[in-house]
Chains A and B, each alone.
Chain A
Amino acid sequence: MTIRNTTQRWGAVAQLLHWLIVAFIITQFTLATMFDDLPSGPRKLALLARHKSVGITILMLAAVRLAWRWANREKPPLPDTLKPYERRLARLTHGLLYLLLFAVPLAGWTMSSARGFPVSWFGLFTLPDLVPKNKALYETLVTTHGVLAWTLGVVAIVHLLAALKHHFVLRDDVLKRMLPFTATKAQGSDR
């Protein structure tokens, strides 16, 4: 597997970024579910702090990922078997995922600022407040952050189901080329 993308498969950097973000999104939903049930106290603070740090990490990884994508114009194309509407749907889903990778953490960060709680990244540095303290804005952003997060969850599941369909129904390389240690038809041992 190469570092950079090829026309056959995603390179190591693109794969690493993709799967790290997957792991962190799962972490975020888990943490959110855990602290939602807790009364306010140090335990809730700890989980919230972790959630914020991981969220900022996703934001940073999303920026790196977009930059890497921009610097790596070569990428495996969508399979020829796709109908035009399926191509549009794939592009829409991917576009939405990128958008939400930025929107969800930004809404969370802004929400913390509006509450008047500065966001720290794993206690190593404190991020600047994006907006001044504003109770009404905070209440709105709680909803916004939640709705955006659930949208991300739904779109990610659509993305996952599509990948599984490609692998198990269409039996093409779409999933394999995002997986390490797998051979794709174009470059694998069966060529």
Chain B
Amino acid sequence: MRTRARALASALLATLLARVPAAAADNVTHYVLDPAKSKLEFSFSQAGAQNKGRFTHFTTALDLAASDPAASHLEVTVEMSSVDTGDQERDDTLRDADLFAVRKFAQARFVAAQIVKTATGYEAVGKLTIRDMTRDLRLPFVLRTATEQGVSAAYMTGKTSLRRLDYGVGQGDWKATDQVGNEVGVSFSLRLTAR
């Protein structure tokens, strides 16, 4: 019991210490997603032609430390069953066990504990988890902040590309990439509002 309490205390202390830099960075703004004005899309090749899809349900939380981007934090959670490629049969196939396996892995998540400034904007340095596979991902984006009717808003846009097989999206026959390409383009255009 005592060791457990001690472990808890030290964990608490570690957490407090870890929060110090963030607290030191003044002006951390907490943004949340405005779903109505945000989109998360992807593109993929099917039978030699480019096809598009999107996720209709996802959340985004951005803690932006204006003076210290490194202390910023980004988290995106995607409801995988909200996939919409404009074709019911294809969407159902994507939700199945060999692809997204939404029954087992309902959400995909990108967590970045660091945001670095680049020549053209920012880059969120974090980890992306799809299904049960987690990989490092550097997500480049452009950020524009504005004050709209007294509310501070942030517009985040960017794109990247993933290899679906890196995340196990494609088991069994779907491991083949001749009909459905391995490369998947991801693009997003988000509107966030300060909490």
Contacts and interface: CB of A to CB of B under 8 A. Distances in A.
Interface of A: 40-43, 45-46, 48-49, 52-53, 115-124, 126, 133
Given A40-B93, A116-B87, A45 B180 contact: yes
Contact of B87 (A115, A122, A126): A115
A16 B87 CA distance: 40
A133 to B, nearest CB: 6
A11 to B, nearest CB: 34
A42 B48 contact: no
17 contacts: A40-B89, A41-B173, A42-B180, A43-B173, A46-B178, A46-B179, A48-B47, A49-B48, A52-B47, A117-B47, A117-B49, A119-B49, A120-B49, A121-B48, A123-B47, A123-B48, A126-B49
Nearest to B93: A40
Given A117-B49, A118-B49, A119-B49, A42 B87 contact: no
Contact of A117 (B46, B178, B180): B46
Contacts of A116: 86-87
Contacts of A45: 46-47, 179-180
B51 interface: yes
Interface of B: 46-51, 86-87, 89, 93, 173-174, 176, 178-180
A115 B26 CA distance: 53
Dominant SS at the A interface?
mixed
Nearest to B170: A42
Dominant SS at the B interface?
mixed
B174 A42 contact: yes
Contacts of B174: 41-42
A164 to B, nearest CB: 38
A111 B49 CA distance: 15
A52 B48 CA distance: 11
B83 to A, nearest CB: 15
A126 B93 CA distance: 23
B48 A120 contact: yes
A72 B87 CA distance: 46
Most buried by B among A42, A121, A126: A42
9 tightest Cβ-Cβ pairs between the two chains A and B = A120-B48, A123-B48, A49-B47, A118-B49, A120-B49, A45-B179, A126-B49, A42-B173, A42-B179
A118 B89 CA distance: 16
